[in-house]
Chains A and B, each alone.
Chain A
Amino acid sequence: MVAALTLKGLTVTIAGQEVLAPLDLELARGKVLGISGESGAGKSMTAFAIMGLLPGGSVRRGQITLDGERIDTLSDQAMGRVRGRRIGMVFQEPMTALNPLRAIGSQIAEVFRQHQRINRVKAARQADAVLARVGLGDIPSSRLPHELSGGQRQRVVIAMAIALKPGLLIADEATTALDATTQLEILGLIQRLAREDGMAVMLITHDLGVIARMADDIIIMQDGKAVERGSVAMLAGGLTHPHAIALAEAASPPAHKADKSRAKTRPAPPLLKVEGLHYDWASETQSTANGLSGGLPLGLPRGLPRGLRGIDLSIGEGETLGLVGASGCGKTTLAKLLLGLYAPDGGSITLDGENLPVPPRGGMVSAVFQDPYSSFNPRHRILRLVTEPFHAVTPAPSGQHQGDAAAAMLERVGIDPGMMERRIHAASGGQRQRIAFARALITTPRLIVLDEPVSALDAPIRVRVLAAMAEIAREAGIATLFISHDLAVVRSVCPRVMVMADGALVEDGPTADVFANPRHPETARLVDAALDWRDEIKTRLMRDETK
């Protein structure tokens, strides 16, 4: 049987620099190949090289064979007949992968119109059929992308990719931006479609959990080279390349070792105390949405935060409390209340025994957010970025003092103070997030709120950044609220965790206990949906044995 896809010595050079070293691979129909590695390892570059959609100025060499036919020699026009018909591609960002101005039905129908000589009506009918196939049968095809949830949008993108039953489906970080439950649904959908149509699937993801669940074979890349390859079973102890091993270790870090000596002594007195906190989101949305449109046509899209109902929590000095929950459960709303960005509708927040003023006094509470790329003003030097929180402190310390504090704090988080005179684009993603920590810590706050602070970072960097941060918080006696959807990260950082569902806290306890013996169905759902590659590979190997 001819392989669906064969690569022989595929290379990509940009401006004379080789960004993809000679790559060989063979992928049979019905099989799933997982490609993993850190960002910039050449994963997506491989996909775009196959599609013939590399950025301008890049040169591709080597053979690409699709179902026994060379496609690397085809003109761009001829490739147009291959793309979308014989190779389908699903992208990372469901929020931006669809044209925001066109109905989803017409965007799917376009695939049929492009590759088949059929009229508008027929194409629309076929688009409806595909929508039903991806599980969106009850969504009118006249919807616009912004009226759908992230998971639904990704189903639309998949619908476009598989509309013409291509032999090869390339999924580039197709589930990275989705929450765990949705991710499972989408992975299941891809699995089902691949089986039904006998598609070969190239699954590109940095998430080894996804690979362990889905892939038959794996390739791990580093700096444009495939450093590890083989059957997925090799994840269970068969990895040999040090980079692959480090990647795997970082993706499933060891659980937090609760400090025994401290656990025995009396727990630290609570620094942050939240009692009966209420917040009604409806008042907020009505004021913004109603005036313009009389409410959204379809009710609120999924994923919009609901209100908070009677939240009680306390965090001790130096303690890191984890907060997990599905998207839209109210995690970020709680964070914004603690930061004084929203005023509560009921209940109290006390910090160090005092009521938290809204907005809080300068420097008492600080935060680090998810996106290290857009949370800095690119025009300012790092010195100014880091010392910015001093603006809120009265009396403001002298410039000399601020500079010294910034240098000390940067050193503390592992950034060379020499970078202070540079601008943020000089820093990598991991460095940026360290700088964000330095900025958050510079006024020695009592409480720091971390909202998905490492989600955008690669696993090995993630572990290092978290370790540095946890140590500083413990030493300085700062109470930390750590919000994340990634249970593995929470397990490694937080001794105690709380689970949130629909605006209420449903579980609270030592992290290992809560995750091992979930008492609330929502916790169980989160634990089930979380893909840890160790568990996944164990389950699969066991299943294979019983066969």
Chain B
Amino acid sequence: MLIYALRKAGLLLLSLTLSSLVIFALIEVIPGDPAQFMLGIGAEEDSLAALRQELGLDQPAPQRYLAWIGGMLLGDFGLSYTYRIPVLDVVMERLAVSLPLAGLAMAMVLVAAPVIAIIAAWRHGSTADHVVGGMTQIGIAVPNFWLAILLIHLFALGLGWFPAGGFSGWHNGSGAGLRALFLPALALAIPQIAILARIMREELIRAADQDYFRTARAKGLGPLEALLRHALRNALLPVLTIAGMQFSFLLAGAIIVENVFALPGLGRLVFQAIAQRDLIMVESVVMLLVFAVVVVSFLVELAYGLADPRVRTGVRPPRVRKGP
């Protein structure tokens, strides 16, 4: 397991390095001069040059790349071009909203999706299964901003259980914070629940079609018992992959929901930074997100090793042979 983990960790470093290069290169080719943007159209040429020098924009690209990476490794993400304060401070402030939001949504997904999937697979082909099939179809199809508005109408404006938007920070107690994040998390989670439940249902049904599931039934296990003990873990591998991708998406892809609920999250930060040509902010946040994605998939791969002992030893599953 240790060797397996080390190998995966090596790959992790490699993908981080490669993606940092790609991000840097992309930012390089984006049109627009931050100095020009900051000083406005009518700025003098020599003040532009001075600002470029101050921002380090006059240096050659490789040098700027190294400075950027080196700074990040030391925890110095540089100064925001727009706000003139350290990027790190801004990011940390936003992360205090985005991370709990993604975590809460993910928790909802990880609780609801398996339950729905198990019920559907257990009652495979029944009315319950068809209802689940229809609901998940709708869940995937509905755009989440519309879902968000619907939730606000129902639970915030109608029933008044949750605030309709905004986030006043964690200093008012975690209860208030969580209440503010509940509806946005739900809006984010519902489509993901639908996706994961569908995939997991398929995997469970596939696992229940295997010979060892039949063996379990022949031992006297009931359909649900056999499903929980002999199909669930086997169905988990593809589910882990999807769940990992979903978490990354929830962390970075919440822009629209953040806007609807007026939450100061990472998604909005990136959006604004791009609009304002705050390239160093964009670079750093994107790199941070890449880091999160890569780390999450690293964790997923480690979980693979725990869930399936064959992954650790590199033995492939046996080939299925049909005979007379």
Contact = CB atoms under 8 A, between A and B. Distances in A.
B323 A297 contact: no
Contact of B313 (A84, A102, A173, A293): A293
Given A292-B314, A296-B315, 13 more contacts: A80-B220, A91-B211, A92-B323, A96-B210, A96-B320, A99-B215, A99-B216, A110-B216, A144-B309, A160-B215, A288-B314, A292-B4, A456-B324
A11 B322 CA distance: 26
Contact of A101 (B3, B223, B309, B313): B309
Given A91-B215, A99-B234, A292-B313, A84 B210 contact: no
A294 B4 CA distance: 10
A38 interface: yes
Interface in A175-233: 176-177, 206
A82 B319 CA distance: 32
Interface in A258-302: 288-289, 291-294, 296-297
Given A56-B125, A100-B212, A84 B323 contact: no
Interface in B219-236: 219-223, 225, 229-230, 233-234
Interface of A: 38-39, 51, 53, 56, 76-77, 80-85, 88-89, 91-93, 95-102, 110-111, 114-115, 144, 146, 157, 160-161, 173, 176-177, 206, 288-289, 291-294, 296-297, 370-371, 373-374, 455-458
Interface string B87-129: 0000000000000000000000000000000000000010000
Contacts of A81: 220
A466 to B, nearest CB: 15
The 3 A-B residue pairs with the shortest CB-CB distance in the complex, in nearest-first order: A292-B314, A84-B220, A84-B219
B42 interface: no
B218 A96 contact: no
B218 A99 contact: no
Contact of B324 (A38, A88, A98): A38
Given A77-B222, A99-B234, A101-B233, A206 B214 contact: no
Contact of A177 (B214, B220, B312, B323): B323
Interface in B158-216: 210-212, 214-216
24 contacts: A38-B324, A39-B324, A53-B218, A81-B220, A84-B219, A91-B215, A93-B321, A96-B318, A96-B320, A97-B215, A101-B233, A101-B309, A110-B221, A114-B220, A146-B317, A177-B321, A288-B314, A292-B314, A293-B313, A296-B313, A296-B315, A297-B313, A456-B323, A458-B324
Classify the secondary structure of A's interface with B: loop
A99 B233 CA distance: 10
Contacts of B234: 99-101
B310 interface: yes
Contact of A89 (B218, B222, B230, B324): B218
Question: B210, B308, B319, B321: which has the most chain A beta carbons within 10 Å?
Answer: B321
Nearest to A163: B219
B313 A111 contact: no
Contacts of B230: 99, 102
Contacts of B314: 288-289, 291-293
Nearest to B312: A293
Given A97-B211, A101-B234, A293-B3, A84 B322 contact: no
A371 B320 CA distance: 10
A291 B3 CA distance: 9
Nearest to A456: B323
B52 interface: no
Contacts of A146: 310, 315, 317-318
A80 B222 CA distance: 6
B311 to A, nearest CB: 9
A176 B323 contact: yes
Contacts of A51: 218
B218 A80 contact: no
Nearest to B311: A292
Question: A93, A99, A455: which has the most chain B beta carbons within 10 Å?
Answer: A99
Given A81-B220, A99-B230, A293-B3, A173 B309 contact: no
B323 A173 contact: yes
A83 B229 CA distance: 17
B212 to A, nearest CB: 4
A386 to B, nearest CB: 22
Contact of B217 (A83, A291, A297, A373): A83
Contact of A53 (B217, B225, B312, B321): B217
A325 B190 CA distance: 59
Question: A96, A370, A371, A374: which has the most chain B beta carbons within 10 Å?
Answer: A96
A53 B270 CA distance: 57
B307 interface: yes
Contacts of B319: 95
A102 B217 CA distance: 16
Interface string B56-72: 00000000000000000
Given A173-B323, A206-B324, A100 B218 contact: no
Interface in B222-253: 222-223, 225, 229-230, 233-234
A110 B229 contact: yes
A413 to B, nearest CB: 21
A99 B212 CA distance: 5
B215 A98 contact: yes
